[in-house]
């Protein structure tokens, strides 16, 4: 078989076609970023080679000086980017350059709006990568060979970025990847030495390998010296430099490289620890949640380096799950170079680094919350729900994490989550010693819950929680700064000193007076309720539902049931407001059947306003209709 026989034409995955089209149209105002993307890939490829060569020196093939080279040809209008990194096998080329394997791809395409400005933002979050070459090139030729394979295993991939690409087997003497961009006529500037240099300095100065270009002598920009190359970047790992020497732009470009993000980060923290355990960390908080935030297989969290050598992506031992939005690097001086994921799991250096890293990130968030309220609000909007997993996962830092929480509250008129627990405590009433909250499955359900009536009357603030994670989170959060949390929809409501003697006596009297009614209702409702009792929570509604202190909120029970989970049968208590005209009317009802119907309707109503689910909705409707009809008689 000849080498030619291997040439074949393959179609791009549909998503790749969509992505290419979108990218060429939406990124044309910032074309130069293609260089950053390709250099970033080349640098990753060299990192991978260096790592694999730790256990197999032969992969270096006698050339261990890793570098990136850029060649320009003005006449042919080409830009060629060469790396001596790991390279790709034929299968890898098909997998990496013909398809998008990223998790979250489907969500990404669903999120597209057709509005170019908005879609350009989205594409940034998704990461443009290799395909960005087509922003400036109408043909791309990639030739690659995996390190350690024979020269005859070279692969040439070529495409005009439309429907398909060709693939052929070629001879390639050196390992690594060479990408030739055949520039569009309008983009000829990327074949000019000074232009490309300035782009490299702008975006890729932090790349730790040398990026070499042909030397140009002063006054002779056009005449590159054929064989003389020089590094055009500073080629030192950014994090090894001291903070004072690194500009914001450099931090930002480094972020885009490690996080594969196209947008600027929200904040960063760079830290060097020296002593028995020496390491450097550089962490970033992104501006936007990635599409795959809830995907268990997502990658690209924290990169681990040992003594400047890249070891692995997504070292999940370095950051707890509730901080999974953090991106960045850790470079340890103490770990062995041959460290594996297994070793990381039980390593005391890692344990120390992780504890220190959590402290740094929480500290960064704390200072942001104090000094940059708007930024913090942005953070909270994107990642608050993730941080709420903290109390369950990180008992040690529970209080610190809780201090970072922001809630919607009856203190606000809308659903903005901006009330901290400290704000709440600062506004507590005389005699109040609990932090009151309610959980519901929507903000409206929380805000309009009958349970809040007495709190409105007394002017006591209640936190309104309607994120799905809230009910679960609160089961791990029992107190904050010595004040315990109390759900207003659970247990016996104890307003303590905030209820005066007269109110207590009135309640007792009304309970005594209503004894007969309470018993009749309990008989009518039977097993549906634990108890029927007189309330002191309500001022406007006839009744409400209360679950026991340790039980799950009614709305949560519904969510679990709908998700097909088994929910233990928990009997709620029905609390009634004897002052309400409907309850008074009920008390006066002598027809037992009608009393019965009426009691059930009240019970079902209480269940509905609690966000619960009726066991028998049809009966509720027919009873209600009966009652409405009786009004017309």
Instruction: Name the residues that contact ligand ADP, by CB under 6 A.
Output: 41-42, 45, 83, 85-88, 96-97, 127, 129-130, 177, 260
Separation of CA 415 from chain center: 21
Select the residue whose beta carbon is closest to ligand ADP and give its number: 129
Q: For residue 75, give both structure tokens.
A: 């006449």
User: 179 vs 460, which CB is nearer to ligand ADP?
Assistant: 179
- Nearest approach in angstroms of CB 17 to ligand ADP is 14
CB atoms within 10 A of CB 208: 19
Please say which residue, 311 or 358, places its beta carbon nearer to ligand ADP. Answer: 311
Q: Where are the beta strands (DSSP E) in 506-576?
A: 531-534, 543-546, 573-576
Cβ–Cβ < 8 Å for 168, 135 = no
Q: How far apart are CA 50 and CA 65, in angstroms?
A: 10
Distance CA 230, CA 626 (A): 90
**Beta carbons of 281 and 330 less than 8 angstroms apart:** yes
CB closer to ligand ADP out of 259 and 361: 259
Strand partners, 181: 79, 140
Please, what is the minimum distance in Å from the beta carbon of residue 479 to ligand ADP?
Answer: 44
For residues 130 and 485, which CB has a smaller minimum distance to ligand ADP in the complex? 130
Question: What's the gap between Cα 205 and its chain centre?
Answer: 28
Minimum distance from residue 611 beta carbon to ligand ADP (Å)? 42
Cβ 280 to ligand ADP, closest distance in Å? 24
* Closest separation in Å from C-beta 312 to ligand ADP: 14
Residue 85 or 290 with smaller CB distance to ligand ADP: 85
Q: Measured from the CB atom, is 130 or 476 closer to ligand ADP?
A: 130
Rounded to whole angstroms, what are the CA distances from 418 to 70, 102, 265, 363, 423?
Answer: 50, 34, 22, 19, 9
Nearest to 529 by CA among 520, 539, 537, 542: 520
Q: CA–CA separation, 304 vs 51, rounded Å?
A: 11
How far from 520 is each of 110, 401, 528, 570, 600, CA to CA, in Å? Answer: 55, 48, 14, 22, 12
Distances (CA, A) of 621 to 439, 528, 583, 627: 27, 18, 20, 10
- The residue among 18 and 613 lying less far from ligand ADP, judged by its C-beta, is 18
Question: Of 177 and 466, which CB lies nearer to ligand ADP in the complex structure?
Answer: 177
Q: Which is nearer to ligand ADP, 300 or 539 (CB)?
A: 300
Q: How far is the CB of 326 from ligand ADP (least distance, A)?
A: 18
Single out the residue of 239, 244, 241 nearest to residue 328, CA to CA: 239
Length of the chain: 633
Q: How far is the CB of 153 from ligand ADP (least distance, A)?
A: 14
- Nearest distance from C-beta of residue 366 to ligand ADP, angstroms: 32
Q: Which residue lies nearer to ligand ADP by CB, 42 or 335?
A: 42
Q: Report d(CA 603, CA 543) in Å as an integer.
A: 8
Using an 8 Å Cβ cutoff, are 278 and 330 in contact? Answer: no
Which is nearer to ligand ADP, 88 or 477 (by Cβ)?
A: 88
CA–CA distances in Å: residue 529 to residues 58, 171, 332, 522, 547: 75, 80, 60, 7, 10
Task: Measure the CA–CA gap between 217 and 228, rounded to whole angstroms.
Answer: 11
Comparing CB distances to ligand ADP, the nearer of 262 and 424 is: 262
Least distance in Å: CB of 81 to ligand ADP?
A: 8
CB of 172 to ligand ADP, least distance (A): 13
Q: Nearest approach, Cβ of 41 to ligand ADP (angstroms)?
A: 3
Q: Which residues contact 244 (CB under 8 A, 6 or more apart)?
A: none
**R_g of the chain computed on alpha carbons:** 33
Shortest spacing between CB 13 and ligand ADP, in angstroms: 12
**Closest separation in Å from C-beta 260 to ligand ADP:** 5
Kindly tell me which of 147 and 404 has the beta carbon lying closer to ligand ADP.
Answer: 147
Nearest CB to ligand ADP, comparing residues 259 and 488:
259
Tell me how far the alpha carbon of residue 202 is from its chain's centroid: 28
d(CA 255, CA 7) in angstroms, rounded, equals: 39
Residue number, 293 or 507, with CB nearest to ligand ADP: 293
Separation in Å, CA 396 to CA 37, 348, 384, 390, 393: 40, 17, 19, 10, 9
Q: How far is the CB of 43 from ligand ADP (least distance, A)?
A: 9
Q: State in angstroms the smallest separation of the CB of 102 from ligand ADP.
A: 7
Shortest Å, Cβ 545 to ligand ADP: 50
Cα dihedral sign for 157, 17, 265, 419?
negative
Q: How many CA atoms lie within 13 A of 155 on its CB side?
A: 21
Select 144 or 193, whichever has its Cβ closest to ligand ADP. 144
Contacts of residues 162-166 at CB distance under 8 Å and 24 or more positions apart, as own/partner, are 162/17, 162/20, 163/11, 163/12, 163/17, 164/9, 164/10, 164/11, 164/12, 165/9, 165/10, 165/12, 165/97, 165/98, 166/7, 166/8, 166/9, 166/10
Reported as type and span, the H/E element at residue 328 is strand 327-332
């Amino acid at each position: 078989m000849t080498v030619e026989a291997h040439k074949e034409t393959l179609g791009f995955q549909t998503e790749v076609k969509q992505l290419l089209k979108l990218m060429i149209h939406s990124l044309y105002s910032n074309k130069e970023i293609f260089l950053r993307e390709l250099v970033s890939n080349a640098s990753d490829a060299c990192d991978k080679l260096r790592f694999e060569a730790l256990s197999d020196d032969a992969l270096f093939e006698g050339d261990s000086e890793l570098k990136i080279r850029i060649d320009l040809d003005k006449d042919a209008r080409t830009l060629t980017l060469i790396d001596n990194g790991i390279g790709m096998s034929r299968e890898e080329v098909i997998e990496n350059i013909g398809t998008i394997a990223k998790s979250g791809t489907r969500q990404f395409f669903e999120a597209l709006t057709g509005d170019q400005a908005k879609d350009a933002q989205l594409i940034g979050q998704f990461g443009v990568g290799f395909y960005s070459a087509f922003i400036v090139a109408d043909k791309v030729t990639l030739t690659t060979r995996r390190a350690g394979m024979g020269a005859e295993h070279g692969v040439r991939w070529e495409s005009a970025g439309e429907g398909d690409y060709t693939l052929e087997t070629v001879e390639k003497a050196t390992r690594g990847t060479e990408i030739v961009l055949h520039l569009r006529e309008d983009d000829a500037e990327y074949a000019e030495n000074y232009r490309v240099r300035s782009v490299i300095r702008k975006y890729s100065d932090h790349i730790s390998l040398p990026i070499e270009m042909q030397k140009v002598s002063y006054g002779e920009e056009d005449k590159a010296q054929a064989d003389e190359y020089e590094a055009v970047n500073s080629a030192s790992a950014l994090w090894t430099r001291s903070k004072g020497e690194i500009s914001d732009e450099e931090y930002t470009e480094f972020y885009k490289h490690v996080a594969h993000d196209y947008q600027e980060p929200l904040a960063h923290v760079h830290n060097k620890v020296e002593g028995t355990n020496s390491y450097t960390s550089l962490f970033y908080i992104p501006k936007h949640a990635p599409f795959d935030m809830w995907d268990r297989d997502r990658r690209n969290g924290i990169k681990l380096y040992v003594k400047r050598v890249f070891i692995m992506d997504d070292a999940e031992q370095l950051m707890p799950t509730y901080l999974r939005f953090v991106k960045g690097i850790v470079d340890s001086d103490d770990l062995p170079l041959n460290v594996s994921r297994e070793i990381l799991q039980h390593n005391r250096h890692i344990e120390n680094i992780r504890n220190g890293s959590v402290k740094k990130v929480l500290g960064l968030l704390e200072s942001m919350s104090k000094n940059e309220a708007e930024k913090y609000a942005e953070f909270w909007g994107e990642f608050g729900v993730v941080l709420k997993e903290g109390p369950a996962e990180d008992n040690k830092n529970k209080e610190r994490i809780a201090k970072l929480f922001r809630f919607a509250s009856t203190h606000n008129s809308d659903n903005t989550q901006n009330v901290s627990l400290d704000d709440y405590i600062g506004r507590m009433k005389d005699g109040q010693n609990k932090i009151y909250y309610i959980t519901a499955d929507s903000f409206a359900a929380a805000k309009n819950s009958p349970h809040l009536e007495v709190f409105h009357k007394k002017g006591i603030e209640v936190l309104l929680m309607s994120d799905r994670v809230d009910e679960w989170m609160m089961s791990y959060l029992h107190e904050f700064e010595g004040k315990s949390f109390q759900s207003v929809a659970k247990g016996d409501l104890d307003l303590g000193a905030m209820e005066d003697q007269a109110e207590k006596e009135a309640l007792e009297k009304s309970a005594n007076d209503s004894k007969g009614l309470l018993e009749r209702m309990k008989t009518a409702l039977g097993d549906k309720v634990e108890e029927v009792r007189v309330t002191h929570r309500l001022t406007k509604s006839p009744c409400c539902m209360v679950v026991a202190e340790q039980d799950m909120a009614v709305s949560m029970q519904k969510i679990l049931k709908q998700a097909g989970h088994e929910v233990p049968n928990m009997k709620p208590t029905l609390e009634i407001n004897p002052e309400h005209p409907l309850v008074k009317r009920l008390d006066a009802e002598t027809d037992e059947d009608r009393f019965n119907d009426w009691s059930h309707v009240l019970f079902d109503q209480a269940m509905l306003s609690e966000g619960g689910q009726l066991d028998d909705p049809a009966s509720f409707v027919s009873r209600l209709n009966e009652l409405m009809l009786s009004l017309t008689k």
